[in-house]
């Protein structure tokens, strides 16, 4: 099993009550919240694309969709607040626990080596536009 139980039982008892349940929700039942959160953690820990998520976490589309929803509806903020409120650690320790290490953030392929244009504000990024500017 790849998940390696990133979310401890103690942490899960704090997080679980703030997650929404699905009574009255139409459609397929939700995948297990804990397993989905484990999948999200796995994806960000490894830096892998969503499509490479191991099947044990469920369909990558479902895990991605839940991550998108939790990002939009404030679920992550509720999780972090619950952890902060239940923790005896000081703010500096929690900040280091919840912060993102910038060394794992990749730049877009177009972020490096772009030609310097005098009228950069007019540039929309198309290849033909770059060729037309160089010719003139």
Q: How many CB atoms lie within 10 A of CB 38?
A: 22
61 assigned to some structural domain? yes
Dihedral sign of CA atoms 78, 81, 87, 89 in order:
positive
38 falls within a domain: yes
- The number of beta carbons lying within 10 Å of the beta carbon of residue 70 is 20
Here the tokens at position 51 are 């499509």
pLDDT at 36: 92
Cα(62)–Cα(68) distance, integer angstroms = 10
> Residue 63 contacts by C-beta under 8 Å, 6 or more apart in sequence?
31, 36, 39, 40, 43, 50, 53, 57
Domain assignment of residue 66, given as a range: 1-100
Q: What is the DSSP letter of 17?
A: G
In a domain, 112, yes or no: no
d(C-alpha 7, C-alpha 107), whole Å: 29
Torsion of CA 48, 82, 59, 107, to 10 degrees: -20
Integer Cα distance of 93 and 63 in angstroms: 29
Mean pLDDT of 114-134: 54
Domain-embedded: residue 134: no
Residue 56: pLDDT above 50?
A: yes
Residue 43 included in any domain: yes
Number of domains present in the structure of the chain: 1
Give residue-wise pLDDT tens across range 34-54. Answer: 999 999 989 988 888 999 999
Q: What is the pTM of this model?
A: 0.63
Is pLDDT larger for residue 95 or for residue 77? 77
* Pairwise CA distance, residues 111 & 118, whole Å: 18
pLDDT in tens, 16-29: 999 887 666 677 77
């Amino acid at each position: 099993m790849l998940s390696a139980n990133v979310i401890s039982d103690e942490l899960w008892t704090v997080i679980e009550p703030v997650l929404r349940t699905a009574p009255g929700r139409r459609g397929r039942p939700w995948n297990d919240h804990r397993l989905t959160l484990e999948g999200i953690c796995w994806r960000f820990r490894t830096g892998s694309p969503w499509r490479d998520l191991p099947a044990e976490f469920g369909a990558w589309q479902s895990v991605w969709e839940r991550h998108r929803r939790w990002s939009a509806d404030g679920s992550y903020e509720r999780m972090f607040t619950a952890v902060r409120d239940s923790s005896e650690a000081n703010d500096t320790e929690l900040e280091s626990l919840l912060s993102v290490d910038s060394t794992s953030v990749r730049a877009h392929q177009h972020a490096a080596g772009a030609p310097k244009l005098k009228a950069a504000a007019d540039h929309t990024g198309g290849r033909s536009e770059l060729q037309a500017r160089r010719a003139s």
